[in-house]
Chains A and B, each alone.
Chain A
Amino acid sequence: MNRKFITVDFSNGVDSFSIKLYSKFTCIFGLDSGKGKSKLLVDLLDGLVDKSCSVTSDSDIKVRIIDNVDLDDITSIKERRIYVLDEPTSANSKDLLEIYNTDHLFIFICRSLPFKNEYPYHNIYHLNMTDTWYTVSEGNLRMYKYPVPIDTIVTESYPDRSEHELVSKYFPNIIAARGRDRVEKVLRNLTGNVLALVDLGNIGRAYRILCKRCKDNENLYFYDYQAFEELLYYAPLLEQLPPVDSVDIFKYTSIETYYEDVLSLRTRSTDFEYVHGKPLAKPFLERHNFNAVFNSDVGKLLFTLLLNCGNMSKAEVYLRAQAGDKFDLLPTVAVADCKTKQDCDMLLQSLNVLN
């Protein structure tokens, strides 16, 4: 998937590790103590003085390592920087908020961020010490891969809103968790193969408890999208609308909010208008637009899953496979009337919509 990110490289001249920044906050954490979190910052600060270490980004943005949260240093600098901080939770709330409201990007070495500061799943790294330096690994959630069949889908949204409203049209066994922090409770006692549609771009402090759910249920999977709005934004259905390039994702503390904003801007005053908190625009919900909604880089796994495990009849699945993008030319009633392969082939031939 074509997601914008900045790479930051941490090197001691012998070994190096890299992390990718997808939005304002990135979290390097160690589940256990003694894994080198505090030592990393000390090594970096010492190494930058004697030039044995380097911390660089692949953009024009300078990277600065700071030990204590110093407001004057951060809030007075107007040019965007990437700051690496250890344990930012010690300062008071007002000071931290001032820092967060700057244009800078932050890599926090910590176990938790205070308040509701959100960071995406792909901005979470686990740190480990080696004999010569450090390594990082990405988050521990189990991502969905087809062809694992799914028994239940759990959505972060409320019933008949957002992804629940859309996906429930194609999948019969779907539960709305009513909020990110309620997802884990729904997942707690579910058995069977479960797919969780959670905005990974906003996972924040829910990450740890969702990892626990993955440990408890080996058949729990998460869908790899930053937000449901990311799926909508990249839907082929919106191809005709010019993309929104002017909004800087790195200004956002939440990737979910970024996608809400760009989707809203892109679809404003059109038939596809998206308004956060309101029901989806009709074209997204029309069954004949299934391909046009889901068949994108972001949605393709969900597309395949719903096609093969959802509530579509075998005839509809066959017609979609045969007609491809031209499926929406087939009258809905005619599709519903098809019971056999012969019926389907006759329909396809009569309308001359074969691939």
Chain B
Amino acid sequence: MLDIIWGRENVPKELVPKVVMDSRIFFRKNKKPTWFEDPFVKEFLLQVDRAQVLFQEALLNYKGEGFSPTELSTGSKTLCCIRFEHNRIFYGGQLGDNCLPFLVRMAEERDIVILLEHYADFTPEDIAKGVIRCNGVIVDQDGYDDAFSDWSASTQEDDYEQKVYNCGL
């Protein structure tokens, strides 16, 4: 299942230490060569970044040039982190719409929690799989759109001036 927390202000206090707002830094510090041997990882790297895995962290771009995983898109890095770091809540703002089908496929296999602060446009097919939960409830398209709009309407500026929301790296 994919559980969505809308807005950093709604991350329960006990979960704040698990939140990773910047997966680029997390990826750089935590990636492992074996990550890139995973067929699923190879698949999304090809789709999202047009990158081929030659051997572990040796990658080839669409121009036939070698490059390192640190040059991957933030979306691919975030997907890698979600794939292998099961005890974290990653910031979904770093996932492009083309990453979402891969996120949903992972959510069909295990429970994932992400933090969102933008309208991530899941495809109707992905929503229909019934693995996306907002506020603990499995949502259809209307339910998902309602959850986003309700959260967007609920945020008040003075909340941010009075309190500090510090989701760590």
CB within 8 Å of B: which residues of A?
Answer: 30-35, 37-39, 87, 89-90, 92-94, 97, 110-112, 114-116, 179-182, 184-185, 188, 205-206, 208-209, 212
Contact = CB atoms under 8 A, between A and B. Distances in A.
A89 B21 contact: yes
Contacts of A115: 155, 157, 160
Interface string B70-97: 0101111000000000000001011111
A89 B98 contact: no
A112 B97 CA distance: 13
Contacts of A90: 21-22, 91, 169
Interface residues of B, number: 43
Given A33-B99, A90-B169, A92-B165, A188 B142 contact: yes
Contact of B48 (A33, A92, A179): A33
Given A38-B73, A188-B145, A212 B161 contact: no
Nearest to B118: A112
Interface string B137-169: 000001001101110110111001101111101
Contact of B155 (A30, A32, A87, A116): A116
B121 interface: yes
B98 A34 contact: yes
B49 interface: yes
Contacts of B164: 92-94
Contact of A116 (B73, B76, B94, B156): B156
A104 to B, nearest CB: 19
Contacts of B152: 181, 205-206
Nearest to B142: A188
Contacts of A32: 48, 75, 96-99
B50 interface: yes
A33 B121 contact: no
Contact of B93 (A97, A111, A209): A111
A182 B151 CA distance: 11
B165 A34 contact: no
7 contacts: A34-B76, A38-B74, A111-B93, A112-B117, A116-B157, A181-B150, A181-B153
Contacts of A116: 155-157, 160
B40 interface: no
A329 B165 CA distance: 60
A224 to B, nearest CB: 22
A33 B22 contact: no
B121 A34 contact: no
Interface string B113-135: 00001110100000000000000
Given A92-B165, A115-B157, 5 more contacts: A34-B75, A34-B98, A93-B164, A112-B93, A179-B153
Contacts of A112: 93, 117-118
Contact of A114 (B22, B24, B117, B153): B117
B96 A111 contact: yes
Nearest to B71: A39
Contacts of B31: none
Contacts of A208: 118-119, 121
Contacts of B121: 31, 208, 212
Contacts of A181: 149-150, 152-153
A348 B76 CA distance: 70
A111 B149 contact: no
A33 B75 contact: yes
A182 B71 CA distance: 39
B91 A185 contact: no
Nearest to A93: B165
A114 B119 contact: no
A110 B96 CA distance: 10
Given A87-B22, A116-B156, A31 B119 contact: no
A185 B160 contact: no
A34 B73 contact: yes
Nearest to A31: B97
Nearest to B119: A208
Contact of A182 (B49, B119, B148, B149): B149
Contacts of B91: 89-90
Contacts of B160: 93, 97, 115-116
B42 interface: no
A30 B93 contact: no
